[in-house]
Amino acid sequence: MRRIFSKVSDVLALEGVSMKQLKNGQLVAIGAAVVLVILAFFSFTVVSTTDNGVVTRLGKYNRTLQPGLQFIIPIVERVYHIPVTTVQKEEFGFRTTMASDRSQYRNNIVTESSMLTGDLNIINVEWTVQYRIIDPKAWLFNVEEGERINTVRDVSTAAINSLIGDRAILDIMGSERDSIQFSAKEIMNEKYKQLGLGIAVSSVQLQNVIPPEDVQQAFEDVNIAIQDMNRLINEGKEAYNKEIPKAKGEADRMIQEARGYAVERINKAEGDVARFNAVYAEYSKAPDITKRRLYLETLDKIFSNTDKVIFIDKNVKNFLPLKNLSGGEQ
C-alpha cells in the first residue's frame, strides 16, 4: 500500500502537483482508486492445469475452481490449490535418497518392512503405493493437514500386513505376489472411501520380498528348486501338447479307415442281396432253367481253376485210371 501511494506521489510530482496542494476530496478519490486497483489485482487467481482450487469463504467451503483464470472475493475468500492430476507415491521399507538415471536408495527400514507370515516366518517386504487425489474438498477438510499422509501410510501398512499374514512365505515370494498387489489395492481403496479421504490408489507394487539374511540362502535354494520344478512341468506340458495332436490325428485316420471299410462291406452286402433277389426272381419264373444255369456257372468256376479234370460215371462200380500210350492219363 505504501509503495502504491509512493507511485502516485511520483506521478503527481511529474505533473507539478504536490500532495499538499490537493484537496481532501481529491485525496479521497485517489485513495479510493488505489483501493479499487488493489482489490482488482487480488480478485483474480490462476489455477494450474494440474490443480483444482478449493475456495473457502470466511473459513467455510464455498466451491471448487477448475484450471484457468478465476475470480474470487479478496479478503473474504481464500483458495487452496490441490494437485488432482499428479500421481503421488509413498515408499515403505525403503526411501529414494536421490532420484535420477542412477537413483540411490536406503533399504532395510526394518520397522516398516518386517512382517510375520501365515506359517510363522519373518519376511521383509518393501512396497510402493501410487495414488491420486480425486476429491479435493474431501482431501482438504475430512482429515487434518498433518495427518493426511500418516493416514495414507497407516492404511497401506495395515492392508499389506493382513495379506502377508494370511499366506505362507514361499507363496508370498512366488505365486501369490500378483494376488497380494491386486488385493491390497482393493482393500486400500475401500478403506480410503470409508474414511472419506478423497484419494484413489492406482497401483501397489511389491519391490523386494526377501527373508531375513541369516536364512536367505536356504530360501534361495528352495526358490531354485521351485523354478526347476516349474521348468520340468512346462517341458512336460510342451511334450504333451506335441503328442496329443499327433495321437488325435492317428485316431482320426483309423476312424476314417474303419468307416470306409464299413461302407464298403455294406455296399457289397447290399449288392449281394440285390443279385440274390434278381436270381430269385428269375428262379421263380423258371426254376428248372435257373437251376441248370446256376449248375453250369458253378461248374465253369470250378473247372476254370484246375488243369486236371476226371469224370466219374455214377454207374461205374470200379474205377481204374489208365495211362494212354502217349504218356497222358485217360
116 beta partners: 122
Report residue 33 as a C-alpha cell.
482508486
Q: Exposure pattern of 135-174 as b/e (b: 16+ CB <10 Å)? A: bbbbbbbebeeeebeebbeebbbebbeebbeebebbbbbe
Residues (pLDDT < 70) of the chain are 1-42, 101, 283, 305-330
User: What pLDDT score was predicted for residue 27?
Assistant: 57
Nearest residue to 254 (alpha-carbon basis) of 280, 55, 246, 217? 246
User: What pLDDT score was predicted for residue 26?
Assistant: 56
Distances (CA, A) of 128 to 59, 93, 180, 198: 35, 9, 13, 19
Whole-angstrom Cα Rg for the chain = 52
- Per residue in 91-101, pLDDT (tens digit) is 999 998 877 76
Strands 88-92 and 77-83: unpaired
User: What pLDDT score was predicted for residue 86?
Assistant: 94
One-letter-per-residue 3-state SS of 20-32: HHCCHHHHHHHHH
Angle at 211 between CA 210 and CA 212, to 5 degrees: 120
User: What pLDDT score was predicted for residue 154?
Assistant: 96
User: What pLDDT score was predicted for residue 190?
Assistant: 97
Domain chopping of the chain, boundaries: 2-82, 88-211
**88-211: in CATH 1.20.1440.230:** no
Q: How many C-beta neighbours within 10 Å does residue 239 have?
A: 10
User: What pLDDT score was predicted for residue 318?
Assistant: 57
Angle at 41 between CA 37 and CA 44, to 5 degrees: 140
Taking each helix axis from N to C end, the angle separating 287-303 and 216-285, rounded to the nearest 10 degrees, works out to: 130
